[in-house]
Structure 1
Amino acid sequence: MNTIQINGLEKPVTTLIQGSDYFKPSIYEKVCQVLDRYVAIGGNTIDTAYVYCGGESEVAIGMWLKERNNREDIVILTKGAHHDQNGQRVNPEAISHDLFKSLERLGTDYVDLYALHRDDPDVPVSVIIDALNEHIEAGRIKAIGGSNWTTERIEAANEYAASNGLVGFTFSSPNLSLAKANEPFWKGCVSTDLADLQWHKATQMPILSWSSQARGFFTGRFTPEDRCNKDLVRVFYSEANWERLHRAEQMAEKKGVTAIQIALAYVLNQAFPTCALIGAQNEQELVSCLEGSKIELSDEEVDWLENGE
């Protein structure tokens, strides 16, 4: 499997990252099947979060890591400081609380990649970077990033870090997909636009994209008339996206692959390092993702898929 390098990590990060937002100890057998298959095809990075399944996702991953005795072979991406019923939680106290709890659940003394699950623009970047650097210095975190942070806030954070001799963000995890979001999927989420793509091209900061395949938009199961999936309709139904789907189908036919594999290839063939978070739950879906990750697209093909030019 292809890999990228993220500053702060010695281990490479595979371009397909296994998602775990449904993992629970109660389905541990399925968790093991999913992760064992993923590792068998060369994957090494698992995405989780403090809030996934009320923390059960991290617990299940920790059980698997202990049973397989493979912690040093695996890159763990977890996230914290997500808002709760009382509002925003992007502050040093919440970061520390969530991180320590995540470490306990995962059964490890460090995480490879730690991302703030949301941002709070009212909190100065200096406060956030200072807090995260304390954990880096203590060895609890290898590399930091923002999940659903704007490029403007990431840039401000990194300018502060650079001017104060601190470690800045070395990755970002927004939504990046061939289907462009009409509005945020969840409150506080960020999807990349053209300006963001240009910024990442200039900085070469990696994107670890969630909903990289637009939550099934490119499977062929949906049509403009089928409006049963309200979230998909709200976020991805647009004339421009139906045209992108049509172009993906045309390219797929020429290359002898599927449209959803082309959509994945779009994410992984940007002009800067990218990874795609995937939700494969069976062998067929996993093989499809692996084959899609190997498709090479030219800059012209990427532009044509997105813009029809």
Structure 2
Amino acid sequence: MEYGKFTPEGKDVSRFIVGTMNIIDKEDLTDDFNRLDDALNLGINVFDTAMGYGRGTTEIALGKYFESRKNRDDVFLISKCCHPSPWRTRVTTYDMESDLNDALVKMKTDHIDLYMLHRDDPSVPVADLVETLDKYYRAGKILAYGASNWSVERIQEANEYAKAHGLKGFSVSSPNYSLAQQYHDPWAPGCLSISGPENEASQKWYAQTQMPVLAYSSMARGLFSGRWSRETWKNKPEEIDPVCLKAYCGDENFTRLERCSEIAKQRGCEIPQVAIAFILDCPMNVYPIIGAANKAEMESSIGALNVKLTPAEVAYLDLKSDSI
């Protein structure tokens, strides 16, 4: 495992992050807890969750896990607030404070290592949001903060305000980023991707600043699993995950998938490892969030650290060249 830091004074964090979106609180959490144990045993010490995950119950399940294992201090814990409801955006200081205090109680902890705004509402002044986050940072309830699905421009605006007023500022950003470009918003209004050629300006900014990018949907919702092909998309689209079908299925992305398969055969590795190696080898400071279903899938993802792509292979995968 490789490790880095989200902030200079923070804990060492694994290059991979375990996503917990599919953990729903229920009577029997044995399989979920075993999967989290496997992640820690493999060296993945960062868990990513949110108020909106698991129909609002994932944080409760994680609290049970920490209580069962007595290992809260072994985990770098990320959670997110202000997920939109069907009625309103919820990007307010009231919702932020409510979600944070609920999260601390649910997860049976006195602090969250990294707290992020799950969405943005450009009509809300950054001053209100930064001031509130900084208040809880100074109180020790959150040790760092950042934003998910925020544009580069809004992050810059927030951090300029923080600097001018002696506040902490955003340390990380969590947009969608993968080899695949995103054709449509897969989840709900307000999701943001920095994938694809249309987002090269944002990619350059992250490369220049080296702000950590916590890349969600780094496998394009299973497009790079190798389970589906262009033929499946054309002839049996009902077999493809609906989110993947909506957001990632298109000619360019299937060309990227086919080129992943070609390089994987040449390298003697797996298609997902090539796709992950692509984002790990980019100039940005990327930490992929993985939704591995079991230990074998986690081990496969980690194996991407050993796949070092050449510049020619990167250009080929990114459709900037037609040959390696």
In structure 1, the residue matched to 2:165 is 164
Could you say what secondary structure the match of 1:76 adopts? strand
In structure 2, the residue matched to 1:249 is 261
Could you say what secondary structure the match of 1:307 adopts? coil
The count of aligned residue pairs is: 309
Is the aligned partner of 1:2 residue 2:32?
no
Deviations 1:69-115 (Å, cap 9, x if unpaired)? 11111100100011112211111110000000001111111100111
In structure 1, the residue matched to 2:152 is 151
Could you say what secondary structure the match of 2:134 adopts? helix
The CA deviation at 1:199 is 0.7
Structure 1 portions without partners, runs of 5+: none
The one-letter amino acid paired with 1:216 is G
In structure 1, the residue matched to 2:283 is 271
The one-letter amino acid paired with 1:191 is S
Could you say what secondary structure the match of 2:147 adopts? strand
Could you say what secondary structure the match of 1:146 adopts? strand
Structure of greater relative contact order (alpha carbons < 8 Å, 6+ residues apart):
1
The CA deviation at 1:264 is 1.1
Structure 2 portions without partners, runs of 5+: none
CA distance in 1, matches of 2:306, 2:51: 31
In structure 2, the residue matched to 1:207 is 213
The CA deviation at 1:8 is 6.0
The one-letter amino acid paired with 2:16 is L
CA distance in 2, matches of 1:182, 1:214: 11
CA distance in 1, matches of 2:171, 2:61: 27
In structure 2, the residue matched to 1:135 is 136
Alignment of structure 1 residues 225-236 onto 2, 5 Å: 225=234, 226-228=236-238, 229=240, 230-236=242-248
The one-letter amino acid paired with 1:176 is Y
Residues 147 and 35 of structure 1: CA distance in aligned 2, closer, same or farther (over 3 Å): same
CA distance in 2, matches of 1:190, 1:23: 23
The CA deviation at 1:219 is 2.0
In structure 2, the residue matched to 1:69 is 70
In structure 1, the residue matched to 2:99 is 98
1:9/1:142 contact within 8 Å kept: no
The one-letter amino acid paired with 2:302 is L
- Percent same amino acid among aligned pairs? 35
Return 12-21 or 231-240, whichever deviates more: 231-240
The one-letter amino acid paired with 1:206 is P
Residues 209 and 100 of structure 1: CA distance in aligned 2, closer, same or farther (over 3 Å): same
Residues 159 and 293 of structure 1: CA distance in aligned 2, closer, same or farther (over 3 Å): same
TM-score (norm 2): 0.92
The CA deviation at 1:281 is 1.6
Deviations 1:222-262 (Å, cap 9, x if unpaired)? 22313113432221112111111121111111111111111
Residues 74 and 295 of structure 1: CA distance in aligned 2, closer, same or farther (over 3 Å): same
CA distance in 1, matches of 2:6, 2:31: 30
In structure 2, the residue matched to 1:19 is 19
CA distance in 2, matches of 1:8, 1:165: 17
Residues 231 and 25 of structure 1: CA distance in aligned 2, closer, same or farther (over 3 Å): closer
Could you say what secondary structure the match of 1:79 adopts? strand
Deviations 1:139-188 (Å, cap 9, x if unpaired)? 01111111111111111111111111111111111100001001211221
CA distance in 1, matches of 2:308, 2:246: 31
2:24/2:55 contact within 8 Å kept: no
Residues 14 and 216 of structure 1: CA distance in aligned 2, closer, same or farther (over 3 Å): same
In structure 2, the residue matched to 1:180 is 181
The one-letter amino acid paired with 2:150 is W
TM-score (norm 1): 0.96
CA distance in 2, matches of 1:6, 1:275: 10
Is the aligned partner of 1:78 residue 2:79?
yes
Which 4+ runs in 1 deviate beyond 6 A? none
CA distance in 1, matches of 2:90, 2:294: 35
Could you say what secondary structure the match of 2:145 adopts? strand
Alignment of structure 1 residues 24-39 onto 2, 5 Å: 24-26=24-26, 27-39=28-40
Could you say what secondary structure the match of 1:145 adopts? strand
CA distance in 2, matches of 1:66, 1:105: 11
Return 297-306 or 49-58, whichever deviates more: 297-306
Could you say what secondary structure the match of 1:101 adopts? helix
Could you say what secondary structure the match of 2:47 adopts? strand
